Amino acid sequence: MLADKQTPSTIDIGTARVRRLDISFSKTLSTDQHGFSERLRLLTLRLQTSLELDRLLDFFFEEVSNLVPLRALSYSHSGTDFQLQIGEANGFDVSYSLSHSGDCLGELCLFSSQYVPDPVLEQLENALDCLLFPLRNALLYRQAVQASLKDPLTGAGNRAAMVHALSRETELSRRHSQAVSVIMLDMDHFKRLNDTYGHQAGDAALKATALLLKEQLRNVDMVFRFGGEEFVLVLSNSGPEAAAVVAERIRAAIQNLCLLVGDKQVRLSASLGCATHQPGESQDDLLRRADQALYQAKQDGRNLTRVASA
């Protein structure tokens, strides 16, 4: 069922601050208003205890649900590729575009089983005022973490990010008996490309390959630059057959990729090795088997895909 929508609202930090000052310094507050102000103070204190976006929004939803009859929260921030939903998103909803000094803090949608009257909306927006500064800090923290886990040249994840992702995926594999596979990819004759056309051409080839890899994969799959001209792909919930299909599709796409260097067209190719996580297997052993399959692909003539034996 489509949710019944109320008029979308925009929270501006300037007007929100004025509203909060009005609450703090009004001499005509009723007892209930004083109680609400105390709840806002406690909400502010709790929101200052975490820089993790999911925990921060969970705290906010939990506390505000005691003030306003909410059933769900949906939040997204495109700049950090973050999305979160808490509860069942149906019923009446009210949407907010959150911003600070022209910086987008994301889109927030709150859902209620009943229509939210204007006095309650005013209370809700005072609560949102308490969220703005902690949310901005959490987004800055997330951006800093993301930057530390990205390869600066290609935008793919770096080795540290790969280790973290593999730890998470192998743990999910152990707990839920779902397959996880890795593909190790190495660009063929990359040194020759650098020596013939220069390192700028090599950098352009790496960037183009990283972009192609992201386009070829699902949203749940991950791309990491392993070092030099090597990439590692982590395929969530994918067994050996699925990984082999993906690897072969990527190999063919790279083979058809044409790099323009000056007035010359340069063809690229890559060799790939696939391995699927086995029960009790360590990250290092999983990567080692993928690397062995990659080595076999190179030994067999390059521009090939090979799958590791069990």
Spatial distance between the Cα atoms of 67 and 48, rounded to a whole number of angstroms: 19
pLDDT band at 135 (very low <50, low <70, confident <90, very high): very high
Mean per-residue pLDDT over the chain, rounded: 86
* Rounded average pLDDT over 277-288: 93
Chain position carrying tokens 């902690």: 134
Residue 123 has pLDDT above 80, yes or no: yes
Closest CA to 208 of 229, 191, 235, 189: 229
SS3 content of the chain, % helix, strand, coil (to 5): 50, 25, 25
Q: Which CATH superfamily is domain 159-307 in?
A: Reverse transcriptase/Diguanylate cyclase domain (3.30.70.270)
Predicted pLDDT at 288: 96
Predicted pLDDT at 33: 59
More confident residue, 293 or 45: 293
52, 122, 229, 248: the active-site residue: 229
Listed by start position, the domains of the chain span 4-148, 159-307
Q: Is 52 annotated in the active site?
A: no
- Is 0.85 topped by the overall pTM? no
**The dihedral of CA 200, 201, 205, 208: what is its sign?**
positive
Predicted pLDDT at 232: 98
Residue 157 has pLDDT above 60, yes or no: yes
Residue 24 has pLDDT above 80, yes or no: no
**CATH class as words, domain 4-148:** alpha beta
Residue 44 has pLDDT above 60, yes or no: yes
